[in-house]
């Protein structure tokens, strides 16, 4: 099995590329979706987050906007949150890899792959990237997003240029979708061929 780490800064098109891998039959572990599930209604991290950050949860689980207001820009608070979330996500990822142990290729979709050291536990890293203007337009079009929030998120992320320099593969997402999809298919073929599958 090849474990491909998929990452990219906010607004770079990572979710779109992850779906392209799924469309080609490649199992994908989505760290963001995992966090949403763990923090959602009845999620197993809700009580721990409420204990650490009172008033940030409710009947629907973690109120992400309220939690964001508490931790964004506060390194100490962010570290406390990560100490709750990261081990739980790691356990879910381990279970995913066990479930798909016979697959020739799996994708682990982690937004902060480099920032959390996740690049050391995958075989190859794919970074998705787009021009800065495209990234900014995508992000600022999201509901509730502001320039200040966008800037705070970027401060926590390794710059795109550094991610691209450390990647084994880079796929552009500011080109026609069909071209991005062809690059994904070519990468899948290349990786499967390298494994003799």
Annotated binding site: 11-16
Phi, psi of 115 (to 5 degrees): -65, -30
65/60 Cα distance (integer angstroms): 13
Check if the beta carbon of residue 83 is closer than 8 Å to that of residue 66: no
Q: Which of the 8 DSSP states describes residue 53? A: S
How far is the CA of 160 from the CAs of 82, 87, 154, 192, in angstroms?
Answer: 22, 26, 10, 27
Check if the beta carbon of residue 176 is closer than 8 Å to that of residue 13: no
Phi, psi of 122 (to 5 degrees): -120, 165
Instruction: Report the chain's terminal Cα–Cα distance, integer Å.
Output: 10
Question: CB count, 10 Å around CB of 159?
Answer: 10
Per the annotation, where are the binding residues for ATP? 11-16
Q: Which of the 8 DSSP states describes residue 131? A: -
Question: CB count, 10 Å around CB of 182?
Answer: 13
């Amino acid at each position: 099995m090849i474990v491909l780490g998929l990452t990219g800064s906010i607004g770079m098109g990572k979710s779109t590329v992850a779906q392209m891998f799924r469309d080609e039959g490649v199992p994908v572990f989505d760290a963001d979706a995992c966090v949403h599930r763990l923090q959602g209604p009845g999620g197993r991290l809700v009580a721990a987050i409420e204990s650490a950050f009172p008033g940030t949860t409710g009947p629907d689980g973690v109120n992400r906007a309220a939690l964001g207001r508490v931790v964004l820009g506060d390194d100490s608070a962010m570290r406390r949150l990560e100490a709750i979330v990261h081990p739980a996500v790691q356990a879910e990822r381990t279970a995913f890899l066990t479930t798909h142990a016979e697959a020739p290729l799996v994708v682990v979709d982690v937004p902060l792959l480099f920032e959390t050291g996740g690049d050391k536990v995958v075989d190859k890293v794919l970074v998705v990237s787009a021009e800065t203007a495209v990234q900014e337009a995508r992000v600022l079009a999201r509901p509730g997003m502001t320039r200040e929030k966008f800037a705070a998120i970027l401060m926590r992320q390794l710059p795109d240029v550094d991610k691209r320099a450390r990647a084994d593969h880079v796929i552009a997402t500011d080109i026609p979708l069909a071209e991005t999809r062809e690059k994904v298919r070519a990468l899948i073929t290349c990786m499967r061929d390298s494994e003799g599958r």
